[in-house]
């Protein structure tokens, strides 16, 4: 097989490791009403998914294979594929009358089914056939062998600033699956809202889930939406989201912010704040953006409160990782707090940075005792890193490099490259000119593996993640616009074995994207067109103008 000859021609994204035309020169396979699915052990859900998803788009019944079938899709998990390509690897062979899909594990089988769907054409991504009388769908004669570069291929969705309802999250799970991404990191709590029901502490959502109004655009903007805003997931909503994701081999990682980004929690339970410094009973859920000075008090009561929160979180999320934030925690209140200073003295800590580290170390041990792993933003390095903690390196590569060299696992997600809420173009037509300009090509040339790391250090890089913060993304359409098409480039970076960034063939990628845009159209994704925003996507006025003298991430 040529490395990517067949799937380049057929516009597969992300690009498989190896693919090519069949060496025997045989024909491809025609799927029609006579096509059946033979699902061997471990293939039951993939068969079900093909019938429900591809069957709905094509109008084909795809029944279990029987003697009367004229063609067959064979699905199986094989030890040989697993030993050669790993549990997420797969092999796909398409010939006359037979499609054979082998996975190294159930996950590999599912990712192979995503490639099969792409090979059927963009209309295979619709929910019903465009031409109900068409009962034949052609697949090219191909052989594909594929496996991911990284085990962690994620997207963080901030549902705290602007809430994505449950059905929207389920939609995002399907979009991630279509791009072979396997981690959905949900940012569930922040100053602007608490989005997960906690039975023992109902005020977290009753009070903390709602703010009185919302800042529009940049935090320097004078504009407000004066309507109350909020929402949250019930525990049954979370169970459904987690189960739906698990079927699609996506892990849902919850984030509960500690010790900063906590004003919504303090508004609900004022005793969590630094009561000897400010009147915490006057705090409300924050209605603007930025770094908030109101942080958790370093008391035994605070620790127990968040242990009770996390006990319920662990019951809902089976993910090995729990994200505890740890970022952007101003220390001013701790400096002024007699309680905080007494705790620093009592424990012999290295000042306020040591106090933040004390929080992180406590919950690292607490989670480890329950068989889980703590992950936090790279500020958790301040004051010393907890032994088992994993670092999400967002302020560039430096935190990830330092953590990997110290023997800690790392997820690389630098804001300069993969914050997809940042603008895609420097022009005035962008809806809100937020942050660094990162084009589709910039994302395609991103490399998650810092070249400074040795082989042993690089083994600590679990993978990469794109982050989507929603301060200025108030609707599904706005999130779509910011995330796509760049998420397709990111998915290829995370999955495929690409050359070094300077040697990547961006033009070839854009050729494959011409078909992928049609897939996104079929899925109803309101992406940013390659030629620039459509008139309805523009937001004229103050929200669409850069702020004079503002920093890039205002």
pLDDT 10s digits, 78-120:
999 999 999 999 999 999 999 999 999 999 999 999 999 999 9
How far is CA 194 from each of CA 190, 198, 217, rounded to the nearest angstrom?
Answer: 6, 10, 21
The confidence score (pLDDT) of residue 540 equals 44
Question: What one-character DSSP code corresponds to residue 84?
Answer: H
The confidence score (pLDDT) of residue 434 equals 84
Kindly tell me the burial class for residue 344, based on how many C-beta atoms sit within 10 Å of its own C-beta (0-12, 13-18, 19 or more). buried
522-534 as b/e: b if 16+ CB within 10 A: bbebbbbeeeebe
3-state DSSP assignment of residue 230: strand
Separation CA 392–CA 395 (nearest Å)? 9
The confidence score (pLDDT) of residue 538 equals 66
Q: What are phi and psi of 74, to 5 degrees?
A: -100, 120
Question: What one-character DSSP code corresponds to residue 541?
Answer: S
The catalytic residue positions are 190, 261, 328
Considering the entire predicted model, what is its pTM?
0.95
3-state DSSP assignment of residue 549: coil
Question: Which residues partner with 514 through β-bridges?
Answer: none
Q: Are strands 229-230 and 152-158 parallel, antiparallel or unpaired?
A: unpaired
Chain centre distance of CA 248: 14
Residue by residue, DSSP assigns 264-333 as HHHHH-GGGB-TTTS-GGG-----S-S--S--B--SHHHHHHHHHHHHHHHHH---SEEEEE--S---HH
The confidence score (pLDDT) of residue 536 equals 64
The confidence score (pLDDT) of residue 544 equals 42
The confidence score (pLDDT) of residue 436 equals 86
The confidence score (pLDDT) of residue 22 equals 74
* Number of residues that make up the chain: 554
Contacting residues for 479 by C-beta, under 8 A, at least 6 apart: 157, 164, 468, 470, 473
Contacting residues for 265 by C-beta, under 8 A, at least 6 apart: 189, 194, 204, 208, 272, 296
CB 295 within 8 A of CB 328: no
CB 481 within 8 A of CB 537: yes
State the angle between helix axes of 166-178 and 235-247 in degrees (0 to 180), rounded to the nearest 10: 10
The confidence score (pLDDT) of residue 547 equals 36
User: How many other CB atoms are there within 10 angstroms of residue 426's CB atom?
Assistant: 10
Q: What are the structural domains of the chain? A: 5-146 (3.30.379.10), 152-544 (3.20.20.80)
Low-confidence ranges of the chain (pLDDT < 50): 1-2, 540-554
The confidence score (pLDDT) of residue 70 equals 94
- Strands of the sheet containing 90-95, edge to edge, are 18-21, 142-146, 90-95, 98-103, 71-77, 35-39
């Amino acid at each position: 097989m040529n490395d990517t000859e067949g799937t380049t021609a057929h516009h597969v994204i992300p690009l498989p490791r190896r693919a090519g035309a069949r060496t025997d020169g045989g024909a491809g396979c025609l799927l029609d009403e006579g096509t059946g699915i033979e699902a061997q052990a471990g293939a039951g859900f993939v068969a079900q998914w093909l019938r429900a998803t591809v069957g709905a788009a094509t109008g084909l019944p795809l029944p279990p294979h029987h003697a009367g079938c004229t063609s067959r899709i064979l699905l199986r998990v094989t030890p040989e594929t697993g030993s050669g390509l790993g549990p997420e690897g797969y092999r796909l062979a398409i010939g006359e009358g037979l499609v054979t899909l082998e996975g190294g594990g159930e996950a590999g089988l599912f990712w192979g089914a995503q490639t099969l769907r792409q090979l059927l054409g963009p209309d295979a991504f619709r929910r019903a056939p465009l031409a109900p009388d068409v009962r034949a769908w052609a697949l090219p004669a191909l052989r594909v062998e594929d496996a991911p570069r990284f085990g962690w291929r994620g997207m963080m969705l901030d549902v705290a600033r602007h809430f994505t309802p449950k059905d929207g999250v389920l939609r995002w799970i399907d979009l991630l699956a279509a791009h072979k991404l396997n981690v959905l990191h949900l940012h569930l709590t922040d100053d602007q809202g608490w989005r997960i029901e906690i039975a023992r502490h109902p005020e977290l959502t009753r009070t903390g889930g709602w703010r009185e109004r919302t800042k529009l655009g940049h935090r320097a903007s004078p504009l407000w939406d004066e309507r109350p805003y909020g929402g949250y997931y019930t525990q049954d909503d979370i169970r459904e989201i987690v189960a739906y994701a698990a079927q699609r081999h996506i892990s849902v990682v919850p984030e509960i912010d500690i010790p900063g980004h906590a004003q919504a929690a303090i508004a609900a339970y004022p005793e969590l704040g630094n009561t000897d410094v400010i009147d915490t009973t006057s705090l409300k859920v924050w209605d603007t953006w930025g770094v908030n000075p109101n942080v958790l008090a370093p008391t035994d009561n605070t620790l127990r409160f968040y242990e009770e929160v996390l006990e319920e979180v662990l019951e809902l999320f089976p993910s090995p990782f729990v994200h505890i934030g740890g970022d952007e925690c101003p220390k001013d209140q701790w400096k002024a707090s007699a309680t905080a200073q007494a705790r620093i003295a009592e424990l012999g800590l290295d000042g306020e940075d040591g106090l933040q580290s004390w929080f992180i170390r406590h919950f690292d041990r607490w989670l480890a005792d329950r068989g889980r792993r703590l992950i936090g933003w790279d500020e958790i390095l301040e004051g010393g890193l907890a032994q088992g903690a994993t670092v999400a390196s967002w302020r560039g590569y430096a935190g990830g490099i330092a953590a990997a060299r110290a023997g800690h696992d790392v997820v690389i997600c630098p804001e300069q490259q993969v914050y997809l809420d940042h603008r895609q173009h420097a022009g005035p037509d962008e809806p809100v000119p937020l942050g660094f300009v990162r084009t589709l090509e910039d994302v395609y040339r991103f490399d998650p593996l810092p070249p400074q790391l040795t082989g042993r250090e690089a083994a600590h890089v679990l993978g990469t993640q794109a982050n989507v913060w929603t301060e200025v993304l108030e609707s599904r359409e706005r999130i779509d616009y910011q995330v796509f098409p760049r998420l397709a480039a990111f998915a290829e970076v995370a999955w495929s074995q690409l050359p070094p960034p300077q040697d990547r063939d961006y033009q070839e990628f854009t050729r494959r994207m011409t078909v992928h845009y049609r897939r996104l159209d079929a899925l109803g994704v309101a992406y940013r067109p390659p030629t620039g925003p459509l008139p309805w996507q523009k937001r004229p006025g103050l929200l669409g103008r850069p702020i004079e003298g503002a920093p890039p991430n205002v």
